Chains A and B, each alone.
Chain A
Amino acid sequence: MTRPLMFALVPLVFMVVGCTKVPTDRIASAEQAISEARAAGARTYLAERYAKLEGMLTTAKHQIATQEAKFVLLRDYSQAEELLESIQMDATRVTAEAERKREEAKAAALQAQRVAQASVKATQELLAKALVGDNRAALIALKVDADGLTASLAEVQSAVDTGDYQGAHVKAGAIAQKSETLAADVRTALAATVAAKSQKRKASRTK
């Protein structure tokens, strides 16, 4: 082989080999984008689209592995690169949408939390008024339940703090529902007391 031919071939080989390098940077970028989507709550709020992203990444990696098995000069990573680029773009969209959905879930959970807090507060105030006089023993069980609801409100806050808005929403809903039932029980007990006292007064007047 003559020297001029060598000078011509070597750069050509380098060019070909250089162009068929494994797209590690793009894999890393795609993985990073998926990781960001996961951090944005895509697994919870856009589970199917998140699963697709992971499926796309697996396919891209499979395509790369297939190309790697070929002879160096025959490798072509262009399809995998396109797919990785597509993953990155999709992941960005999924991240944005997951964040939006998460904010919506958070707002709904916080609203449910406020409703539950207000309801428990009203029930506790009602109980405080009722827990005087001779009938307080009969209301002790209701007071214990109301205190249980107050304690459970802290669990709603914990769920909010850990980003479990779905859990916080459901728990707050259950607390508010039970609190309304308790308040109704207290009102019934109070009404019964008033009625009994009135009846006694009437009876004593009759005597």
Chain B
Amino acid sequence: MNTPTIIAIGSCLLAVCLIVGLLFGCVQKAPPELLESVEALDQELARIRAVEYAPEEYARFVGHWVAVKGRLLSEEEEIRWPWEPNPLAAELSVLQEEGEQAAAVAQEAREEERLDAHQRLDWLEGRLARFASRIEQMGSRVVLERKPIETELLLKQGRSYYEQGLYGRSLHAVEQASRLVEDQTTILTTALARYADDERVGVWRRMVRRTVQWSATHHAAAIVITKADRRLTLYRDGHAVGSYPIRLGYNGVLQKRYQGDGATPEGSYRIIKKRDQGETRFHRALVLDYPNAEDRRRFSQDLQTGAIPAGATIREQIEIHGVGDGLMAQTLGCIMVGDRHIDQLFEQVEIGTPVTIVGAVHVANKVALALAELEEAPEEQNAEVPEETEEPVEQG
């Protein structure tokens, strides 16, 4: 091969290289794999809600991404030499780093919030279950009115938001539910504080002692009912001769204030009537002289101070009765014992037998202990007032 031929071939190769270079190397192009990678990152950032969890990083990424996209879509393509670095590739690399950083920040913040929501939901669900159990133990759910259901609804919403990945809203619902639990604790502590009050329990204890002494002195029967223990004790000659489990009103742990409040009264009463089978819906019943003078005095005072509803009355009849045809977990304010037990009582008591109803005789009673376990606070509400009747009616 002679020199001119070599020069000619070399020139041709150079020309081809130049043409190829001009055609392919000099036009700015984004590397497709890098572009795909950034696009995938963009979708991932959307999926993990980076706008919410890493707002600054995401805004930076978006701003940059938009600018790069603008350049990619621009019709004017920059010419560069093959040996020059590709500025778009460099930009995309930076963008990828920014996107990855935003994704990392968002993932971390989101996971942190998810864990927080998860833990709080679990904790509150556990706490509510314990709370409900204590309330059941005290028999005081109705006093909380709508708060338990509101709390439960909020908790359900919190769980629902959590399952949808809306951890922020889940936490908000849990926070509201927690506040309601605190409110309920405050309500109960206020309404039932007397069960943990030494002085009050001391008064109740003296009432019981007097009743037992009366039984001893008069060689007669006397009944003592302890609301916190849900127990009725029959005394004869000053000695306990029978003890029976009882059920109270649906607001039984509260002091009765007016007709229809579901509470069971506290005080010293006497049996004024014995209703045998066929005379009552509840197998057999012992009618008490409720309301007594003290109940009426307290009722008038509550009415004057507005502590009870303006139209409230005090005509309710309170009995110790059996179950009869009913299957009542609670009563409307009466004291219910089993049919077999009311039969025994019925035989052993007379008209005039004293019946003393107290909250508790020990400071460490079931209600006080349950209150202490609640750790926080309670609140109090008014019970529903049923339709008034002219005559006292057997309520159950």
Residues of A participating in the B interface, judged by any CB pair closer than 8 Å: 47-48, 50-52, 54-56, 58-59, 62-63, 79, 82-83, 86, 133-138, 140-141, 144-145, 147-149, 151-152, 166-167, 170-171, 173-175, 177-178, 192-193, 196-197, 200
Contact = CB atoms under 8 A, between A and B. Distances in A.
Contacts of A148: 145-146, 148-150, 153
Contact of A152 (B49, B150, B169, B250): B150
Interface of B: 45-46, 49-52, 58-59, 61-67, 70, 141-142, 145-146, 148-150, 152-153, 156-157, 160-161, 164, 166, 169, 249-250, 262, 281-282, 324-332, 384, 396
Nearest to A174: B156
Contact of A193 (B59, B145, B326): B326
Given A134-B282, A151-B146, A192-B327, A52 B250 contact: no
A134 B328 contact: yes
B275 to A, nearest CB: 15
26 contacts: A47-B49, A47-B51, A48-B50, A48-B51, A51-B59, A52-B65, A54-B62, A55-B59, A59-B63, A134-B281, A134-B326, A134-B396, A135-B327, A136-B332, A137-B328, A137-B332, A138-B329, A140-B262, A140-B384, A141-B142, A144-B141, A145-B149, A148-B146, A152-B153, A171-B153, A174-B156
Contacts of A137: 249-250, 262, 328-332, 396
Contact of B59 (A58, A82, A141): A58
B145 A170 contact: no
Best-buried of A47, A144, A166 by chain B (most CB within 10 Å): A144
Contacts of B70: 59, 79, 82-83, 86
Contacts, number: 127
Contacts of A152: 149-150, 153
Given A54-B59, A59-B63, A174 B153 contact: yes
Contacts of B49: 47-48
